[in-house]
Amino acid sequence: MVELTRVAVISDIHGNLAALEATLADIRARGVARIYNLGDLDGKGPDGPEVIDICREQCQVNLFGNWDDLMIREDVHNPLVAWHRKRLGPERLAWLKSLPYSVDFRLSGRRIRLFHASAQGIWYRVYPHSERETLLGMFQNTELTGFDTPPPHVVGYGDIHHAFIMPFFVPKNHTLFNAGSVGNALDEPRATYVLLEGVWDGEDWDAPFSIQLIRLPYDVEQVIARARALGLPETDALAIELREGIYRGMRHK
């Protein structure tokens, strides 16, 4: 019998400890061997330090996201970013700065590549409705992902807080997926992650392989109450996003 490995792909926790704990409990219950985190650990939610400490301990891979970039940049003077940065402290900020951009591995013959936002950069945003050329660009090797490995068959990312799985008929056997957001989902108000399953480092395309999207409830009101108690800036905007799954800037449009 073929031995299959499960890989949990989580992203965009954004300081939401309750959502992370619900996600990790589900991952443990499924007997998942590996957890890969696509970045944006802090920002928006109230518990960035706790989230970072847990991910450092429990995730086999942590990648660098755009909010992680905001945290380490001294030229960013936004009050919300400053509030988070102060709570993280220099040691956690140094750890964020050290995070890699992308990771490649193989499951059931498929080359998998994960990054936070796109092959072009952490600030280059790609949506499921983006032009086909933009979507196919996610499979290209770039200076950021490296040119020393073959291009991937399967690409997973986070950033847009909107989960999806998109197979391509052309090119054949290519799939793009978004892991959604654990702590700040903007498609529906649940913690969201993706589960990959296949033969680890296997070369056989005929071996089983799957991509599964998982959504979980958690105590949203607990997170909002915690944010208010700590005096988190923009808590009202955070509450809209967590309760309704709607980006704060789009609610009245």
CATH of the domain at 99: 3.60.21.10
| pLDDT tens per residue across span 2-49 | 899 999 999 999 999 999 999 999 999 999 989 999 999 999 999 999
> pLDDT grade, residue 1 (50/70/90)?
confident
The backbone torsions φ and ψ at residue 74, rounded to the nearest 5 degrees and listed phi first, read -75, -10
Q: Which helix (H) or strand (E) holds 84?
A: helix 79-97
The rounded percent of the chain whose pLDDT value lies above 70 is 98
248 domain-assigned: no
Predicted TM-score (pTM) of the model is 0.96
How many distinct structural domains can be found in the chain? 1
Which residue is associated with the tokens 């071996």? 207
224 domain-assigned: yes
172-196 average pLDDT score:
97
Q: Residue 101 above 60 pLDDT? A: yes
163-191-110 Cα angle (round to 5): 45
- Separation CA 245–CA 205 (nearest Å): 37
124-136 average pLDDT score:
97
pLDDT of amino acid 252: 47
252 domain-assigned: no
158 domain-assigned: yes
pLDDT of amino acid 2: 84
247 domain-assigned: no
Task: Give me the amino acid identity at 79.
Answer: P
pLDDT averaged over every residue in the chain? 96
245 domain-assigned: no
Residue 35, domain extent: 5-239
Q: Residue 236 above 70 pLDDT? A: yes
251 domain-assigned: no
Q: Residue 180 above 50 pLDDT? A: yes
pLDDT of amino acid 170: 86
246 domain-assigned: no
> pLDDT grade, residue 251 (50/70/90)?
low
pLDDT of amino acid 74: 86
- Separation CA 182–CA 21 (nearest Å): 10
The backbone torsions φ and ψ at residue 63, rounded to the nearest 5 degrees and listed phi first, read -105, 165
Least confident of 8-12, 54-58, 74-78, 249-253: 249-253
